[in-house]
Amino acid sequence: MESNDMIKIQNLSVKFDENVVFDNFSVTFPKNKITCVLGPSGSGKTTLLKALAGLIPCGEFLPPKAAFVFQDHRLLPYLTALDNLAIVLDGKKEERRERAKRALTDMELSEAADLYPPQLSGGMAQRVAIARGLLFDADLLLMDEPFKGLDLALQERLIKYFVKYWQNSRRTTVFVTHSILEAILVADKIIVLDKAEQGAAIIYEKDFTLPREERALGVLEVDALRKELHDLLVTL
């Protein structure tokens, strides 16, 4: 692949006192694809997203304009759910509110439009934050365990919605998750990060090209990859 088809992090070094998270770490992400990052807690997944967003400096790396769905929702407490979305959009006020309203409906949140973040349940606030990340017009979408803790049925509906939505824009996406199945359903590429004394390393990397509409439990390639990843992650 040509190098301008990739987002490249090179020689990332991050440490906190004696804790070496990354030491001269390099990784590339294919543009216009979804890369899922798996790995144990504390291996540096969030730190890597922060480097991609430019929140942690990394050599010559020029961060693209990024939409970041953080692990915590980070909504503005003094704006309603609807206005938390409308504020990241460009255009006339009424159009922005219409788009925001549609996004809330897609996230099964129409009833939350006029509520303020402190009035939302954790799962609702999280979904507003996901909607905000999807709406914000950026070159790079960074998602940090976005569907974590939602009930399974809702999780499955939102993953389907996310994939459908993503297919309209095909934005370069880096998606951190602990769920193997979630990764298999959304990823073009899967990488596994593991921590080590001398800094994190990529211990597994795979392109997964099975068309997304064919991905489901019981499909041979899906089940095989699921087992492969399970057997790897369970040892970390």
Q: Which residues bind ligand ADP (CB under 6 A)?
A: 16, 19, 21, 39, 41-47
Q: Which does 47 bind (CB under 5 to 8 A by kind): ligand ADP, Mg ion, none?
A: ligand ADP
Query: Is the Cβ–Cβ distance between 175 and 166 less than 8 Å?
Result: no
Q: 75 vs 192, which CB is nearer to ligand ADP?
A: 192
Q: Which does 42 bind (CB under 5 to 8 A by kind): Mg ion, ligand ADP, none?
A: ligand ADP
Nearest to 172 by CA among 24, 15, 19, 35: 35
Minimum distance from residue 72 beta carbon to ligand ADP (Å): 12
Minimum distance from residue 41 beta carbon to Mg ion (Å): 7
Query: Is the Cβ–Cβ distance between 104 and 134 less than 8 Å?
Result: no
Q: 42 vs 59, which CB is nearer to Mg ion?
A: 42
Q: 46 vs 80, which CB is nearer to Mg ion?
A: 46
Q: Which stretch binds Mg ion (CB under 5 A): 43-51, 61-69, 119-127, 130-138?
A: 43-51
Question: Which residues make beta-bridge pairs with 31?
Answer: none
Q: Which does 21 bind (CB under 5 to 8 A by kind): ligand ADP, Mg ion, none?
A: ligand ADP
d(CA 176, CA 35): 8
Angle at 181 between CA 27 and CA 206, to 5 degrees: 35
Minimum distance from residue 233 beta carbon to Mg ion (Å): 15
Minimum distance from residue 71 beta carbon to ligand ADP (Å): 8
Q: Which does 31 bind (CB under 5 to 8 A by kind): ligand ADP, Mg ion, none?
A: none
Query: Is the Cβ–Cβ distance between 36 and 191 less than 8 Å?
Result: yes
Measured in whole angstroms, the distance separating CA 148 from the mean position of its chain's CA atoms is 11
d(CA 30, CA 171): 10
Nearest to 73 by CA among 114, 111, 127, 36: 127
Q: 143 vs 181, which CB is nearer to Mg ion?
A: 143
Minimum distance from residue 23 beta carbon to Mg ion (Å): 19
Helix or strand holding residue 135 (H, E): helix 122-135
d(CA 215, CA 222): 6
Q: Which does 59 bind (CB under 5 to 8 A by kind): Mg ion, ligand ADP, none?
A: none
Q: What is the DSSP letter of 217?
A: T
CB atoms within 10 A of CB 137: 11
Q: Which does 209 bind (CB under 5 to 8 A by kind): ligand ADP, Mg ion, none?
A: none
46 binds Mg ion (CB under 5 A): yes
Minimum distance from residue 225 beta carbon to ligand ADP (Å): 21
The contact set with Mg ion (CB under 5 A) reads 45-46
